[in-house]
Chains A and B, each alone.
Chain A
Amino acid sequence: MPHSHTEVEEKIQYKPKQSKKFKLNFWPALFVGPHLIIFIIFFLIPSLYGIYIAFTKWNLFTNPQFVGFQNFHTILFDSQSSFFSQFRNGLKNTFIFVVFSVPFCVIVPLLMATGLSAKPKLHRLFQSIFYLPSLFAISAVMIIWQFLLSLSYGPLKNYFHFNTDVLNNQPYAWIAIILVTIWWSIGGNMVIYLAAINGVSRELLEAADLDGAGLFTKFFKITLPGIRYQILFTTVMTTIAQFNIYGQPLMLTGGGPNESTKVLLMYIQGNAFGQGVSIAGMSSAMAVLLGICIMIVSAFQFIILRDRD
């Protein structure tokens, strides 16, 4: 069908507009530029170098020696090598921590935010108290909890006559690490949920009230769907953060008892920067595998939690 005169005119007029669109706008570049440079220098280049190191034998001092997939083969298939057992144990313990801590690190702040959003008396004070631990450095938090959970100095034995060394016996060691992590990380997610809940439509909630909906119905049918994107975001971010667990077991249990709380990052750090000559290539290979695990789990979470509409 032949084009009408007006259509042709429109197309002719449209072309210069299209080429204008691709012109570089310097203002966004000005704002993004510094971050991009820092990102490239301090994250992208080291990350790429780290991936390259995973394919080498490297003691940090001499030049890396390329060995192909040898490190990955050792870690994944060589049962005679301790790196094989280290990876299995480290990854298993990391998964245990993620599986048990992430739901609590999402649900507990959500419940707190829900409670605080009803604006009870002193809600601002409680909001500050709940957020406060997130501001402390991990070393400070762990030292405090180490004293609190210690048999010699803490209240467990002295006031509650609980004679088990919780940091040296399972399942208490895991319970302690998870509880401390929840206490420490509650603030960040809670603030996100508070802001999200405040954005939920008041009209909808009032309409539900008029229809006779109860507290739970309103929460599950209106509030929760209203903040689903924030929940997805916090779930993915919390999962990534918990996969990178290191400070809590290092300082609370030292990976014990019998390496049952020794997580993968502790092995990675120990091999690369522990006693003796560094085994940086193997550590990097473990780190790459951990990164792949995090990517797979995060992608899986996106698929499960994404908006099906």
Chain B
Amino acid sequence: MKKWFSSLALLLTLCLALAGCGSNNSSNGSSKSNSGDDGNKVITLWSSTTGPDGQKIQKTIDQYNATNPEYKVKLVTMQGTTFNSKLASVTRSGQGVPDLALIASESVSAYQSQGMLEPWDQYIKGTKVTASNYLKEAWNVGTIGGQQYGLPSTMGTWVMYYNPDLVNKYCPGAVTNGVVTYSSIEKCGATAKNDGIYSYGNAWGMQNFNNLYLQMGGHFSANGKPTIDTPTAVKTMQEFKKIYDEGYMPKKDENADQLFEQGKIIFLPEGTWMLSEFQKIKGFKPVETFTPQWDASHIVQASGADQFVMFKSNARTDVKAKAEVKFIQWLQGNQLTWVKSGANPTALAMLNNPDYTKMPQSFLIKDSSARNAIKIITDPGASYSFSGIDGAFWDMVDGKAGINSKLKEVQQTVNSQMGQ
């Protein structure tokens, strides 16, 4: 009896453990049905945009679903690392692949080169989702080998905010037609320094480097190979070091965003996504404009443009893919809630919306010369270069590492990573 009871208990334990695994499988199954089963008439959209921005995307999708489309859109948001690891596992297994995913501009070519993306061409044929209806640079991100692998959504851009009161006090005339040069920043710094005011805030070294490097004529690749250890990169870093050494830039430990909000920084390059935060400032009214320029007569403005992509999946039908295009087409003129996050639309139809054109960030799209200044980096290995500069920026600026030796080190790392 005792032996029989023990056997039963052991069997029960094993069953429970296996049932745990089983329930996991069934949840995978449900996610598959969400993403792939045509009967559901749901388009699953994966995004790594969380927080307030994610909520704005959700509201926009709610507005689309309220139009009673045949296929409703279901947004699934997750943190960046989870997003990448989940994408990796579902695409490998082929189970639960999302119908639609929103990915960073620099990721399109990486995924495409692995043969993981489905082209849009046959589905956008005859629709308004065409190159002419989008910002050229943002559209081109998704074009690889003559095929369209990504369709642009919104554009998050590294711009600049400045304190107009401090500009008037320390360097009136430093801003001309929305353009501030590095030379003006240095002049402002010289006059403001004695009052404990910084002229330039470095909130994200890599973004500032990217902009100045491109403005100085630098390239992130040559002949398909990443280039980061170049004379232009050295010159770029020397400029930041000069501003720091002169005392015009806060130290690494000091929070540039907070100092700006407290009125202690004149010019602060930051992302368009910081707009709503800076609109809460009470002491002054910050102005949004281009990032600082090396040459005022040749404006270059680096940016990113998230792209809608379709990861390969046997479960996605042509009908569903066309429904996805219909959603993207609807977005062209209906992104007002989404872009309240501070981002810019990539579809030119939004220029007809006066509520959008009144938004501070719209300066980048309204004017054709500003549109032409936008540059989206899609060079091979650029992500590795960004990561390398990100980790080394402050060491080069505050002299913990030599600029030449550190850039050589970053180049070696990028080369090794590309070699894998």
Asked whether, in the complex, the Cβ of B114 is within 8 Å of the Cβ of A61, the reply is: yes
Report A-chain residues with C-beta under 8 Å of the C-beta of B111.
61
Note all chain A residues with C-beta closer than 8 A to B386.
275
- Determine the chain B residues whose CB is within 8 A of the CB of A26 once the complex forms: 3, 6-7, 9-10
Which of A5-13, A30-38, A225-233 participates in binding chain B? A30-38
Contact indicator B417/A165 (Cβ below 8 Å):
no
Q: Tell me whether A61 and B91 are in contact in the complex, defined as CB-CB below 8 angstroms, given that A30-B13, A152-B255, A165-B251 are known contacts.
A: yes
Tell me the nearest residue of chain B to A269, going by C-beta.
B81
CB A240 to nearest CB in B, in angstroms, measures 25
Q: Given the known A-B contacts A257-B400, A273-B81, are A62 and B412 also in contact in the complex, defined by CB atoms under 8 Å? A: no
The answer to whether B413 touches A61 (Cβ under 8 A) is no
Least Cβ–Cβ distance between A228 and chain B, in angstroms: 38
Could you tell me the distance in whole angstroms from the C-beta of B405 to the nearest C-beta in chain A? 10
CB–CB A62/B114 < 8 A = yes
B397 to chain A, nearest CB (A): 11
Choose one: B9, B84, B253, B381; the contact of A150 (CB below 8 Å): B253
Q: Name the B residues within 8 Å of A259 (CB-CB).
A: 391, 395
Asked if B40 is at the interface (CB within 8 A of a chain A CB), the reply is: no
Encoded as 1 (CB less than 8 Å from any A CB) or 0, chain B from 50 to 68 comes to 0000000000000000000
Q: How far is the CA of A63 from the CA of B17 in the complex (A)?
A: 29
From A167, A274, A277, name the one whose CB has the most chain B CB atoms within 10 angstroms: A277
Q: Are B395 and A37 in contact (CB under 8 A)?
A: no
**A279, B417: Cβ atoms closer than 8 Å:** yes
Instruction: Determine the residue in chain A with the shortest Cβ distance to B395.
Output: A258
| A259 to B392 Cα, complex, angstroms | 9
Collect the chain A residues with CB atoms within 8 Å of residue B412's CB. 80-82, 85
> For residue A80, which residues in chain B have a CB less than 8 angstroms away from its CB?
412
Q: Which of A60, A81, A165, A257 meets B85, CB within 8 Å?
A: A60
| Chain B 93-121 per-residue mask, 1 if CB under 8 angstroms from chain A, else 0 | 00000000000000000110010100000
Chain B residues within an 8 Å CB radius of A57: 420
Q: Which residues of A contact B254 (CB under 8 A)?
A: 151-152
Question: With A27-B6, A152-B255, A277-B110 known to touch, is A258 a contact of B420 (CB < 8 Å)?
Answer: no
Interchain CB contact under 8 A, A61 and B116 = yes
A278 contacts the other chain (CB 8 A):
yes
Report how far A257 CA is from B255 CA in the complex, Å: 17
A278 near B88 with CB under 8 A, answer yes
Residue pair A82, B420 in contact (C-beta under 8 Å)? no
Task: Look across to chain B and name the residue whose beta carbon is closest to the beta carbon of A273.
Answer: B81
A29 lies within 8 A of chain B by Cβ:
yes
* A244 close to chain B: CB less than 8 A: no
A153's nearest neighbour on chain B, judged by CB, is: B255
Question: How many residues of chain B are within 8 Å of chain A by beta carbon?
Answer: 45
Contact present for A168 and B92 (CB under 8 Å): no
Q: Is A256 part of the contact surface with B, judged by Cβ < 8 Å?
A: yes
**Within the complex, what minimum Cβ distance (angstroms) separates A154 from chain B?**
9
Q: Could you tell me the distance in whole angstroms from the C-beta of A75 to the nearest C-beta in chain B?
A: 11
B329 on interface, CB distance cutoff 8 Å: no
A residues 240-286 in Cβ contact with B at 8 Å: 254-259, 270-271, 273-279, 281-282
B384 x A276 contact (CB < 8 A): yes
User: Which residues of chain A are near B273, meaning CB under 8 Å?
Assistant: none
Contact partner of B14 among A37, A63, A165, A282, CB < 8 A?
Answer: A37
Q: Does B143 contact A (CB under 8 A)?
A: no
Q: Which of B114, B252, B384 contacts A59 (CB 8 A)?
A: B114
Which residue of chain B is the closest to A276 with respect to CB atoms?
B383
What's the nearest-Cβ distance from chain A to residue B4, in Å? 10
Roughly how many angstroms separate A80 CA and B253 CA in the complex, as a whole number? 34
The reply to whether B10 and A29 form a contact with Cβ atoms under 8 Å apart is: yes
Instruction: With A30-B13, A273-B81, A276-B381 as known contacts, state yes or no: A165 contacts B400, CB within 8 Å.
Output: no
* CB contact under 8 A between A275 and B255, given known A26-B3, A81-B416: no
Distance in angstroms between the alpha carbons of A61 and B90 in the assembled complex:
9
Is the CB–CB distance between B6 and A30 below 8 Å? yes
Within the complex, the shortest CB–CB distance from B12 to chain A, in Å, comes to: 9
- Is B28 close to A, CB under 8 A? no
A112 to B400, CA, bound (A): 39
Residues of A within 8 A of B85 (CB): 60, 273
Q: Does A131 contact B (CB under 8 A)?
A: no
In contact, A165 and B415 (Cβ under 8 angstroms):
no
Q: Which residues from chain A contact B14 at a C-beta distance below 8 Å?
A: 33, 37
A85 contact set on B, CB distance < 8 A: 409, 412
CA distance A34 to B252 in the complex (A): 50
Q: Knowing A82-B413, A165-B252, A282-B420 touch, does A275 contact B114 (C-beta < 8 A)?
A: no
A62 to B111 CA separation, bound complex (whole angstroms): 11
Within 8 A of B (CB), among A44-73: 57, 59-63
Interface string of B376-420 (1 = CB under 8 A from A): 000001011011000100110010110000000100110111011
- B110 near A256 (CB under 8 angstroms)? no
Question: In the complex the two chains form, is A275's CB within 8 Å of B384's CB?
Answer: yes
Cβ of B275 to closest chain A Cβ, rounded Å: 24
**Choice from A82, A152, A254 contacting B416 with Cβ under 8 Å:** A82
Closest residue on chain A to residue B390 by CB atoms: A275
- How far does the alpha carbon of A270 sit from the alpha carbon of B254 in the complex, in Å? 25
Contacts of B253 in A (CB 8 A): 150-152, 165, 167-168
Among B84, B85, B253, B255: residue with most chain A CB under 10 A: B253
Residue numbers in B under 8 Å from A281 (CB-CB): 420
* A151: B residues at CB distance < 8 A: 251, 253-254
A83 at interface, CB cutoff 8 A: yes
Interface string of A73-97 (1 = CB under 8 A from B): 0000000111101100000000000
Name A146's closest neighbour in chain B (CB-CB): B253
Residue in B91, B383, B394, B415 whose beta carbon sits within 8 Å of that of A275 in the complex = B383
| Minimal beta-carbon separation of A86 from chain B (angstroms) | 8
Contacts of A81 in B (CB 8 A): 412, 416, 419
Please indicate the chain A residues that have their CB under 8 angstroms from the CB of B116 in the complex.
Answer: 61
Listed in ascending order, the chain A residues whose CB lies under 8 Å from chain B are 25-27, 29-30, 33-34, 37-38, 41, 57, 59-63, 80-83, 85-86, 150-152, 165, 167-168, 254-259, 270-271, 273-279, 281-282
Leading 3 A-B pairs by shortest Cβ distance: A26-B6, A276-B383, A82-B413
17 example contacts (A-B, Cβ-Cβ < 8 A) are as follows: A27-B6, A30-B9, A33-B17, A34-B13, A37-B17, A61-B88, A63-B92, A82-B413, A151-B251, A152-B253, A256-B400, A273-B81, A273-B84, A276-B381, A277-B114, A277-B383, A279-B417
